[in-house]
Amino acid sequence: MSSAPLLLQNCRLIDQPGDAPLVSIAMETGRITAIGPDLAADGHEVIDAAGNLVSPPFVESHIHLDSVLTAGEPRWNQSGTLFEGIDIWRDRKQDLSLEDVKQRAIAALKLQAQQGVLYVRSHADVSEASLTALKGLLEVREAVQDWITLQVVAFPQDGVYGSPKNLDLMEEAMKLGADVVGGIPHYELTREDGVRSIEKIFELADRYDRLIDIHCDEIDDEQSRFVEVVAAWAIRTGMGGRVTASHTTAMGSYNNAYAYKLMGFLGRSQINFIANPLINITLQGRADTYPKRRGITRVKELWQQGLNVSLGHDCIQDPWYSLGTGNMLDVASMAVHACHMTGLDEIDACYDMVTTHGARTLHLADYGLAPNLPANLIVLDADSRYEAIRRRSVVRQVISRGQPISDTEPAQSRWLI
């Protein structure tokens, strides 16, 4: 993708105090060349950011692009549970074709990119014999690389040991080029299978030199304690920050004595966490009467412990979550509410969880706003992170690889009486 040199003027940089002077950002051949006041415009196409907030792009650290836009196919999830969702998807995935996967995934990526997401980690179910979901998403990874960066996780939805073929499929997925090894220990047939699935995941990640991102303890069962096993392996292997535990909703149900001990181990392990508050507030708590649990991991406490926590959308209109806009500010807003992150620094942290923290989880080497980095940035109709989340502000401009790829006018209302 070639593009003319670009100058974005009157930028309110996200990492500067609110009263800092506005600056310009110059971009050329896909990279940021300079950031500062009074940059010369000659030879550049000029865009006026008009004092709006300029941020590095949103990072979608957890989504299932293979199942997006299938809600109701072949039937609606009536119980609202994870397990009914898995059963519905098991039926739907028999009908996958490469075209079906690619068309829906690219539609969802465009939806997200228009709302400022330029980095995505997607899970691809690899417990279906033809590996169509994975093959489709690997093709999508290539097809979209000029405007969005996609990582693909080999995710064994039905369990590594749920059926005899699944382990071979995991191995095949690594050979085909999945970026990340996934898992689902709480859905293995037994606790022991869950533990040995984690050992296997670490062994695959070591052998193929890949990152790890495990769906872990996504259940309200306070006895579901696989995150301690993941942390133990991260400590033993030294893989630390290359490892991510996604969902970990059972942590919201652990007793405080156990959680206190666990926090220390998690701190030692330095693993990353991804919470998906939109979906888990609806998916969990389904066996409760009242009071109903929130079913979300301990986002605030993990963050206070200094651990890297990011937030994901998880689903857009699929068997687990029929809603979803693709907007990361919706995700951050739900975290503010459901995780009691209402202090001003906590609201700012929720914004960071859909930007810089996600970048760290994905191991993005060149993320941020600085000269020589790729010219990937967004202009928000807001003057602070707090305003962006409160109003779920429109992303006015999306610039990818130095080229404007989308712009959106905020809606205008007129008072008529």
Residue nearest ligand 17E, CB atom distance: 320
Closer CB to ligand 17E, residue 27 or residue 184? 184
**Residue corresponding to tokens 């609806």:** 282
In DSSP notation, 124-168 reads EE--STT-HHHHHHHHHHHHTTTT-EEEEEEE-TT-TTSSTTHHH
Binding mask 277-296 for ligand 17E (x = CB under 6 A): --x-----------------
Tokens of 309: 């926590």
Q: Which of 60, 84, 128, 218 is catalytic?
A: 218
Q: Looking at 13, 82, 113, 219, which residue binds ligand 17E (CB under 6 A)? A: 82
Q: Closest approach of Cβ 321 to ligand 17E, in Å?
A: 7
SS3 content of the chain, % helix, strand, coil (to 5): 35, 20, 40
Burial of 321 (C-beta count, 10 Å sphere; 0-12/13-18/19+): buried
Q: Closest approach of Cβ 86 to ligand 17E, in Å?
A: 6
209-268 residues in contact with ligand 17E (CB under 6 A) are 215, 218
Q: How far is CA 236 from CA 203, 269, 363, in A?
A: 12, 9, 20
Q: Looking at 66, 314, 352, 381, which residue binds Fe ion (CB under 5 A)? A: 314
Closer CB to ligand 17E, residue 157 or residue 297? 157
Closer CB to ligand 17E, residue 115 or residue 317? 317
Instruction: Pick the stretch among 140-148, 232-240, 313-321, 346-354 that binds Fe ion (CB under 5 A).
Output: 313-321
Instruction: Pick the stretch among 49-57, 145-153, 234-242, 310-318 that binds Fe ion (CB under 5 A).
Output: 310-318
Instruction: Pick the stretch among 14-22, 31-39, 312-320, 339-347 that binds ligand 17E (CB under 6 A).
Output: 312-320
Whether the ω angle into residue 74 lies within 30 degrees of 0, i.e. cis, is: yes
225 binds, among ligand 17E, Fe ion, none (CB under 5 to 8 A by kind): none
Q: Closest approach of Cβ 184 to ligand 17E, in Å?
A: 6
Does 274 bind ligand 17E (CB under 6 A)? Our answer is: no
Does 64 bind ligand 17E (CB under 6 A)? Our answer is: yes
Q: Which residues of 98-137 are buried (b: 16+ CB within 10 A; e: fewer)?
A: eebbbebbbebbbbbbbbbbbbbbbbbbbbbeebbbbbbb
Q: Closest approach of Cβ 89 to ligand 17E, in Å?
A: 7
184 binds, among ligand 17E, Fe ion, none (CB under 5 to 8 A by kind): ligand 17E
320 binds, among ligand 17E, Fe ion, none (CB under 5 to 8 A by kind): ligand 17E
Candidates 51, 113, 59; CA nearest to 352 is 59
* C-alpha to C-alpha distance for 124 and 137, rounded to whole angstroms: 7
* C-alpha to C-alpha distance for 45 and 7, rounded to whole angstroms: 6
* C-alpha to C-alpha distance for 172 and 91, rounded to whole angstroms: 22
218 binds, among ligand 17E, Fe ion, none (CB under 5 to 8 A by kind): ligand 17E
**Angle of helix 256-269 versus helix 226-237 axis, rounded to 10:** 20
Closer CB to Fe ion, residue 215 or residue 294? 215
Does 320 bind ligand 17E (CB under 6 A)? Our answer is: yes
Task: Look up 218 and say whether it is catalytic.
Answer: yes
Closer CB to ligand 17E, residue 216 or residue 377? 216
150 binds, among ligand 17E, Fe ion, none (CB under 5 to 8 A by kind): none
Q: Closest approach of Cβ 119 to Fe ion, in Å?
A: 17
Q: Which residues of 49-61 are buried (b: 16+ CB within 10 A; e: fewer)?
A: beebbbbbbbbbb
* C-alpha to C-alpha distance for 341 and 339, rounded to whole angstroms: 5
Closer CB to ligand 17E, residue 27 or residue 131? 131
Closer CB to ligand 17E, residue 217 or residue 314? 314
HEC profile of 207-228: HHCCEEEEEECCCCCCCCCHHH
Closer CB to ligand 17E, residue 66 or residue 381? 66
Judge contact between 390 and 136, C-beta under 8 A: no
What are the start-end ranges of the E strands in 255-318?
272-275, 309-311
Q: Closest approach of Cβ 78 to ligand 17E, in Å?
A: 17
Q: Under the rule (CB under 5 A), what is the footprint of Fe ion?
A: 314
- Which residue numbers are catalytic? 218
Interface residues toward ligand 17E, by CB under 6 A? 64, 82, 157, 184, 215, 218, 279, 314-315, 320
